[in-house]
Amino acid sequence: MSLLGRAALLLAFAAAIFAVAAALWSRRPGQRRWQESAERAVYGVFGLMSLGMGVMWAGLLSGAFELRNVADYSSTTLAWPFRISALWGSQAGSLLLWAWMLSLFAAIAVFTNRRRNRELMPIVVAVLMGIAVFFTSVLSFVTSPFETLAVVPAEGRGLNPLLQNGYMMIHPPMLYVGYVGLAVPFAFAIAALWTRRLDTQWIQSVRRWTIVAWLFLGLGILLGGRWAYEELGWGGYWAWDPVENAAFMPWLVATAFLHSVMVQERRGMLKVWNMVLVVLTFSLCLFGTFLTRSGVLSSVHAFGESTLGPYFLGMIVAILAGSLALIISRLPDLRSQNSLESYISREAVFLYNNLLLVGLAFAVFWGTIFPILSEAVRGERITVGVGFFDQVTLPIGLALLVLTGVGPMISWRKASGAQLRRRFVGPLIAAAVAVPLVLVITGGAGHWAANAVFVIGVFTLACIVSELWRGTRVRHQLGGVSWPGAFLQLFARNRRRYGGYVVHIGVVVLMVGIAGSKSFASEGDLALRDGQRGEVAGYTIVNEGGSRGSDEHKMTVAVRLGVFKDGERVATLDPAVNLYRVSQQRSTEVAIASKWDRDIYVVLVGLTESRLARIAVFVNPLVGWLWAAGLIIALGALIAVWPAPRPALAPVPGAARSGAAARGD
């Protein structure tokens, strides 16, 4: 098994090198046939990496404990779904998944462009396979997932209990789809620079790639927050952890790119900026991979000490240096076709949006690497606290929320005063009406930041609704269709635009959920014996009895809690603590009662022999809005990337008559 897996990786490494060489050689005059060889080699790399993945999964499922990865992360008592997810629980296994996804996306890119972008494809193949050379070389020569043990244990250590969670089965793969998917736009950008084909064709070719990768990266971040919320037992979902930040930064820059490419397509502007954003996005994806594997920062998400840091750092530096050198050499070809005519225009709003997003990404980057810099300069690691990130992100987030509503309402090139008054009167009235309502609901101006988010959220939603109303009304009046039909036609005829509006609605819901959960949460600690009760945030918690149990996998201590509000039972919760037999590790099983406006979140800290249960209770408002926002954003992104129906071909004159004659009608 080890031999087969190692052979697959070595052959994939060799095939990737061949693909790079053949693709570059095909650029020479009279050597076009080598392009087909390079593309076939891409399919070969995908097949070989799939073989390696299959071997690794077979080892995890069958308990091949002669493999170090299997012995360290699987066991015979582990449920089979977690044996599958144990692949990305290890460092080498997660890199294998990264490399396999890269080969898959490269094969898809080659297949979907087999009849188009033929001038770009040799460089696209060379870039993607060059990245594959790096990953397959690391897997073959530095940290092999098929490393064997001299002494084969009778049983494996099993997966970390924190990772034995359904969300951890899908959170890392979704992040990797985002990370790896963003390699394709990067490859097309480098190909456009190399070949000097710097029109909008390369952007149109990668638009769906970018949106899908952005969507999966964002959903992966949300699912990671959901995992932390359910599994870590601290009552929160986001802690500005370095690895959380590492996924957030490329998502921010990719968001900026998705907005600024519209300016290039519409006005021929921001060409250099867009190239920089593409390069920066993919470099930050690699930086996130570097952070989890270098051991330079402490994180619950990281793989601990590792020797891989210098390799990834060298790769990032090489990509940044090479890409920036290529951009500089093509500056004459990247001149904008138009200039900014007004600071009050849609392209100006997109530019402000870009500056804020990149500024936020830089602030998060600075806060993340500051401990490393302080240790290098002063010999003392100074950690940046949550307060820094909250203070920086609050004003930027409020400004971005305003621009989310303003952007679609303003015309290209220049907006007139009359147009601004006509379009913004309704949203401003809605925001003004929302102010006293918000103050009454939240209890005054004490939580000014959350109140600001709520009011601006109303303004932004009103802007989006007014745009949808205006478009629907025009189609109803001109198209002679019903109101529902006119509304649906908006999305059918301009899916990218109106799918974007749905995404914006999801962003508003997300921001409101974050503001509510951070500003109005309550918590309390209780120590209750059987039958005793305590109060937290207006809820009565009653200890209805503890229990102890065990199976072949773990031992469990649990307590049943009744939750009452105004004398009425609103939930029954069963928080627990597990002790896993193989690893002797302890984990908490959080109990959550969710409603649309709040979560009651309970953690069992411990249950003594005298049946005294120590519990932590959190009442978290609007947390469910975060997960609902993810669904709304996913819906909007799917609308935006869904292919439009092809227009029906016009009948050829005389075709019907000739067809009838041929049939003898």
pLDDT tens figures, 374-405: 877 877 777 788 889 999 999 999 999 999 99
Is the pLDDT at 168 greater than 90? The verdict is no
Of all residues in the chain, the percent with pLDDT exceeding 90 is 59
What distance in Å separates the CA atoms of residue 232 and residue 226, rounded to the nearest whole number?
10
CA dihedral 543, 544, 545, 546 (to 10 degrees): -60
State the SS3 of 52-64: HHHHHHHHHHHCC
* Range 635-656 average pLDDT: 68
The CA angle 488-491-492, to the nearest 5 degrees, is: 85
The CA angle 454-458-461, to the nearest 5 degrees, is: 130
Residue of 131, 229, 132, 213 whose CA lies nearest to 175: 213
Task: Quote the pLDDT of residue 306.
Answer: 60
Task: Quote the pLDDT of residue 297.
Answer: 61
* CA-to-CA separations, 65 to 143, 243, 372, 430, in angstroms, rounded: 17, 30, 37, 64
* Range 593-606 average pLDDT: 93
What distance in Å separates the CA atoms of residue 46 and residue 184, rounded to the nearest whole number?
15
Contact 125, 34 (CB under 8 A): no
Task: Quote the pLDDT of residue 593.
Answer: 94
Q: Provide the pLDDT confidence category of residue 646 given band limits of 50, 70 and 90.
A: low
Buried-state track 3-18, b at ≥16 Cβ within 10 A, e below 16: eebbbbbbbbbbbbbb
Burial class for 25, CB neighbours closer than 10 Å (0-12, 13-18, 19+): middle
Q: Provide the pLDDT confidence category of residue 541 given band limits of 50, 70 and 90.
A: very high
Q: Provide the pLDDT confidence category of residue 656 given band limits of 50, 70 and 90.
A: very low
Of 67-71, 203-207, 361-365, 585-589, give the lowest mean pLDDT range.
585-589
Supply the angle between the helices 166-181 and 271-294 in degrees, to the nearest 10: 140
* Range 604-624 average pLDDT: 91
Task: Quote the pLDDT of residue 373.
Answer: 83
Q: Provide the pLDDT confidence category of residue 408 given band limits of 50, 70 and 90.
A: confident
Buried-state track 291-319, b at ≥16 Cβ within 10 A, e below 16: bbbbebbebebbbeebebeebbeebbeeb
* Range 47-72 average pLDDT: 92
Amino acid identity at 562: G
Greater pLDDT, 260 or 31: 260
Q: Provide the pLDDT confidence category of residue 300 given band limits of 50, 70 and 90.
A: low
Amino acid identity at 396: I
What distance in Å separates the CA atoms of residue 620 and residue 463, rounded to the nearest whole number?
29
Is the pLDDT at 105 greater than 70? The verdict is yes
* CA-to-CA separations, 397 to 358, 360, 512, in angstroms, rounded: 12, 9, 11
Greater pLDDT, 349 or 645: 349
Record the tokens describing residue 190, joined without a space.
């480098």
Q: Which residues contact 396 (CB under 8 A, 6 or more apart)?
A: 356, 359, 360, 363
The CA angle 650-655-656, to the nearest 5 degrees, is: 100
Q: Mean pLDDT in the chain? A: 89
Residue of 617, 599, 611 whose CA lies nearest to 541: 617
Contact 219, 634 (CB under 8 A): yes
* Range 504-510 average pLDDT: 96
Contact 102, 183 (CB under 8 A): yes
* CA-to-CA separations, 472 to 419, 422, 466, 476, in angstroms, rounded: 19, 17, 10, 6
Q: Provide the pLDDT confidence category of residue 56 given band limits of 50, 70 and 90.
A: very high
Is the pLDDT at 664 greater than 70? The verdict is no
Contact 270, 336 (CB under 8 A): yes
Q: Which residue has the tokens 């309390």?
A: 524
**Per residue in 238-253, pLDDT tens?**
989 888 999 999 999 9
Q: Which residue has the tokens 């007014």?
A: 466
Contact 210, 182 (CB under 8 A): yes
Supply the angle between the helices 166-181 and 91-112 in degrees, to the nearest 10: 50
**Per residue in 309-366, pLDDT tens?**
788 889 999 999 999 999 999 999 998 888 888 888 899 999 999 999 999 999 999 9
Beta strands at 586-589 and 598-607: parallel, antiparallel or unpaired = unpaired
What distance in Å separates the CA atoms of residue 85 and residue 77, rounded to the nearest whole number?
15
Task: Quote the pLDDT of residue 200.
Answer: 84
Task: Quote the pLDDT of residue 303.
Answer: 52
DSSP state of 409: G
Q: Which residues contact 64 (CB under 8 A, 6 or more apart)?
A: 1, 58, 70
Is the pLDDT at 657 greater than 80? The verdict is no
Q: Which residues contact 529 (CB under 8 A, 6 or more apart)?
A: 543, 610, 611, 612, 613
